[in-house]
């Protein structure tokens, strides 16, 4: 019973200091002496992964970087990321930035080909909980943006949920379905979990670290550091599990490299995910092979868009994700697919069908409106150092909406560019 009271007191203390963080600092602090850099497990790929459309060519050891920058340049770039999350440059974060920009730049190139597809999903979930949008890069270090990723301890999906934590946040895990791999549902669960962690610790460094190693490990590290009132990630650094010591630095480095990849000579790989997708609800259990026969899609492609279905079966009352051009053929032959009578069924093409107008979906990528701008439209000019997050905040809108209005597929914008905000 005594331990319960102590834990309550600790959580109360965390709540009291939740708003007391100082202004974000970007000065170099080399008092932190990190061990040899251990890159997050999510970066590494297997031979099986190398055949996937979503990952890079093999990681090359000792690849030397062509582009090197002074600390002052890195600090300036970090300071231009509009966020409330501290992103300092020190011995540890510097090493992670170097590794992402040099040795692991093939993996970065592959992730850049996928981020445009997943980013709107991540941002929508984060915005719902009013969280910093920069948290969308956590899946970069967790899974290298691979819904199929599974860790050696059993964490799965883009956000690498353990089964118990996934179920705690409403994710279904059974023989047919593993919603830890569902991009939309796992992003919602991750945003909820991150919100709870921030409310507990009042500091994003601590919350992000807790996402990696659990709340109790952070609580113990805060007690051991000897100064719980002023605890942050760096003050408890030496009391953290080894893997977690590299987690927040890797997160900072991921934000940096996914924003400034071009400056380091990294080009995105050619994307293989669809530009637009939509979802349909199925009314009875249906196997991927029947969907494939109707829509002209290979089963591997269906797996990529529907990674949560463990046996290639979509159960009744679950959503099926399809490329937008495949939805009309599916709907036209839906009853035949459910009946199982697909012998001799010709594969429908978009040209055979009336024009299909997909419903709004969280999966849909941003496109300019076909109807043109409304009479109430408003444009702004991008300032030097601006980002989509900063523009969205100034104009009372969201990054996802800006991307939809302007047909922007990534995060890169340039000074002088005209951006439609409504």
Nearest to 392 by CA among 384, 382, 402, 383: 402
DSSP-assigned letter for residue 282: -
Catalytic residue among 124, 134, 142, 325: 142
Catalytic annotation on 70?
no
The whole-angstrom distance between residue 153's C-alpha and the CA centroid of its chain comes to: 21
Residue count (the chain): 422
Q: What are phi and psi of 281, to 5 degrees?
A: -90, 135
Strand 418-420, strand 313-314: pairing: unpaired
**Radius of gyration (Cα) for the chain, nearest Å?**
23
**First-to-final CA distance of the chain:** 56
CB 161 within 8 A of CB 191: no
d(CA 118, CA 363): 8
Helix (H) or strand (E) holding 22: none
Q: Quickly tell me which residue has 């920069």 as its tokens.
A: 134
Angstrom distance (rounded) from CA 86 to CA 89: 10
List the catalytic residues: 142
């Amino acid at each position: 019973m005594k331990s319960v009271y102590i834990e309550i007191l600790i959580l109360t203390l965390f709540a009291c200091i939740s708003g007391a963080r100082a202004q974000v600092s970007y000065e170099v602090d080399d008092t932190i002496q990190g061990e040899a850099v251990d890159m997050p497990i999510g970066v590494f790929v297997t031979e099986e992964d190398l055949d996937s459309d979503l990952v890079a060519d093999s990681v090359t050891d000792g690849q030397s970087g062509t582009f090197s920058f002074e600390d002052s340049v890195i600090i300036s770039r970090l300071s231009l990321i509009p966020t409330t999350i501290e992103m300092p440059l020190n011995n540890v974060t510097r090493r992670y930035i170097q590794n992402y920009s040099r040795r692991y730049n093939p993996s970065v190139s592959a992730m850049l080909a996928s981020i445009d597809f997943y980013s709107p999903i991540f941002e929508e979930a984060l915005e719902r909980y009013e969280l910093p949008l920069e948290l969308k890069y956590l899946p970069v270090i967790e899974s290298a943006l691979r819904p199929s990723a599974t860790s050696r301890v059993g964490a799965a999906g883009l956000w690498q949920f353990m089964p118990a934590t996934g179920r705690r946040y409403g994710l279904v895990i059974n023989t047919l379905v593993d919603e830890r791999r569902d991009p939309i549902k796992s992003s919602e669960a991750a945003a909820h979990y991150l919100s709870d962690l921030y409310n507990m610790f009042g500091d994003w460094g601590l919350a992000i670290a807790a996402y990696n190693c659990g709340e109790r490990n952070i609580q113990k590290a805060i007690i051991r550091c000897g100064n719980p009132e002023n605890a942050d990630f760096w003050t408890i650094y030496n009391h953290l599990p080894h893997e977690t010591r590299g987690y927040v630095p890797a997160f900072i480095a991921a934000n940096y490299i996914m924003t400034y990849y071009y400056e380091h000579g990294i080009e995105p790989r050619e994307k293989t995910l669809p530009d637009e997708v939509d979802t349909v609800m199925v009314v009875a259990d249906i196997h991927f092979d029947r969907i494939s026969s109707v829509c002209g899609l290979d089963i591997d492609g269906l797996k990529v868009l529907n990674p949560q279905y463990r046996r290639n079966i979509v159960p009744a009352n679950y959503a099926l994700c399809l490329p937008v051009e495949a939805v009309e053929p599916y709907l036209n032959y839906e009853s035949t697919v459910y009946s199982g009578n697909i012998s001799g069924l010709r594969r429908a093409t978009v040209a055979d069908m009336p024009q299909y107008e997909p419903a709004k979906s969280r999966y849909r990528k941003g496109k300019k409106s076909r109807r043109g701008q409304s009479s109430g439209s408003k444009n702004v000019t991008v300032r030097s150092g601006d980002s989509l997050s900063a523009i969205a905040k100034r104009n009372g809108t969201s990054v996802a909406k800006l991307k939809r209005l302007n047909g922007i597929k990534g995060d890169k914008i340039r000074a002088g560019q005209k951006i439609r905000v409504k």
